[in-house]
A = this chain, B = another copy of it.
Amino acid sequence: MNQLAVKQESEFLKRIRNPALFGKIMEAEDTLQFFKDGMYLGFSGFAEGHPKTVPALLADHVEKHGIGKMKFNVYTGASIGTDVDDRWAKLGMLGRRWPHQQGNAIRKAINAGEIAYGDRYLSMYAQDFGYGYYTLDNGGKIDIGIIEASCITEDGSIVPTLAVGIIAEIVERADKIIIEINSKIPSLEGLHDCVGVTLPPNKQVYNILSVKDRIGTTSIPCNPDKIVAIVESYRDPVGRPLGAPDGNSVLIANHIIDFLQFEVKQGRLPKNLLPLQSGVGSIANAVIGGLLTSPFENLNVWTEVFQDNLLDMFDSGKLDYVTTASFSLSDNGIKRLLANWEKYTSRTLLRPIQITNHAEPVRRLGLISMNTPVEFDIYAHVNSSIVNGSRLLNGVGGSGDFMRNAYLSIMHTPSTRPSQADLHGISCVVPMVTHVDHTEHDMDVLVTEQGLADLRGLSPRERALRIIDQCAHPEYKPLLQDYFHRALKECLASNSAHEPHMLHKVFKMYRNLEEKGTMKLENWD
């Protein structure tokens, strides 16, 4: 073992509590022998919790011995650190890559047609991955799974780190497993609630009646014969920058808080609301900020990512319990978490996507779900993933699991975004979205800084009027009203006015943006 390893040896060895596995301990460099071009790999991780050491060594190897010589098909829980994704993308090491990413380099490579990237609602992805649907060409197998672990228990089970992701599914499908023990962060044993892979007709009930109900185990059983290497990985978590609330975000958050208060008053929500699912970004942070100063107490959160704002909520005393799929904290947030470990984690469960995003608990618990899309249209179809019908942003992630099944499905976005030529060059309210991730049959509420449109029970034409009226930016309102009324007139003439559209003109605002740098079309002629 090298210097660094020796230095940490005692902690590292302490983390392997099954002595029968000592024989699998290996220098990380020595695992390179297992990898071959074209292999299917599964990585632990969802925001954090991904393997860092072996992937970095593989990248070093490729950098040294020739770019493009090794390409892999990589499956993770969701996006992982750009330390791996972006570096691998730059080195041409990614063939297929599922589901979700956040790096500039990997995004560029996907949109350049170099990586076969795919998306599916995360809970279905996790389940179908366990069924072998993503590795059909490889006999349903993952060749090598690389798992970042806190420790290995006496019975050889794996205790994850800052996310569970799809570790159980990878372990089920993998021929070989490499475990990276991350001894730089404390062991997270006890924080997780893991379930295995069962196929129908033998699937079990997820008997969760509240955010804090445990149904699984604190570690993931693993056949020791599959483990080919255990390596030390002495690495800090990858911190993520926070989206600071801006003026629009605060306005949006205020609309949402007002709406929730109204719903409580109407008796449609309990006083402590229902479990909150909130996405990432500045609006999500503003909403949490708004809740901190609201009269709501004893709140619960059921979400994908535990961000810094939940530390604030715990500090405020308003937060009772959190279920999350991952920790995604800033560098400062990581420090705060580690400094007050017991306080924050004693009322937190870290679960696999298979549970956090599953329709069964989401629907039974009755989540209030809030996420930010790219754009929505006048009939309430929502685009979360692809610009201009073609260019991928980060992927659809888990938003669809929540939007479909929540008690209240809320999408929030600024009404406009700047283009290069115009501060309000892009309207986020359009006649027809260019890609649909959530349909008109999914949405309850749409919000922009202009206002909140409660769409429950409305027909498409009623929705259009309300969305334009409540959500569109004043500079686009007349244009969208004109579209709707012209479309209505045209469609009435052809007896097809259920959801009026003019297909031959529907994407003209995008064309105008391309040609003139703004969606402010002169007219619809």
| A interface list, Cβ under 8 A from B | 96, 98, 108, 110-113, 116-121, 124, 127-128, 131-137, 140, 199-201, 203-205, 207, 209-210, 266, 268, 270, 274, 358-360, 363-366, 381, 386-392, 396, 400, 404-405, 407, 432, 434-442, 444, 454, 456-462, 487-488, 491-492, 494-501, 503-504, 506-507, 510-511
Contacts and interface: CB of A to CB of B under 8 A. Distances in A.
A131 B507 CA distance: 37
Contacts of A438: 439
Contact of A499 (B207, B386, B404): B386
A310 B461 CA distance: 39
Given A359-B405, A388-B496, 17 more contacts: A96-B459, A111-B496, A112-B495, A116-B461, A116-B462, A118-B458, A124-B442, A199-B366, A204-B209, A205-B209, A359-B360, A381-B436, A389-B503, A391-B494, A391-B495, A392-B499, A438-B439
A199 B270 CA distance: 10
A358 B364 CA distance: 11
Residue of A131, A203, A459 with most chain B CB atoms under a 10 A cut-off: A459
A441 B432 contact: no
B504 A504 contact: no
Contacts of A390: 487, 491, 496-501
Given A365-B201, A441-B119, A457-B136, A504 B503 contact: no
Contacts of A495: 108, 111-112, 391
A454 B268 CA distance: 43
24 contacts: A113-B492, A113-B498, A118-B459, A118-B460, A124-B441, A131-B407, A132-B268, A137-B457, A200-B274, A200-B364, A200-B365, A201-B209, A203-B363, A203-B364, A386-B498, A388-B496, A391-B491, A391-B494, A400-B441, A404-B404, A434-B501, A439-B439, A503-B510, A503-B511
Given A360-B363, A504-B511, A498 B392 contact: yes
Residue of A108, A400, A498 with most chain B CB atoms under a 10 A cut-off: A498
Contacts of A500: 390
A277 to B, nearest CB: 13
A504 B501 contact: no
B503 A121 contact: no
Nearest to A495: B111
Contacts of A120: 441
A419 B435 CA distance: 28
A51 to B, nearest CB: 22
A205 B127 CA distance: 20
Nearest to A365: B200
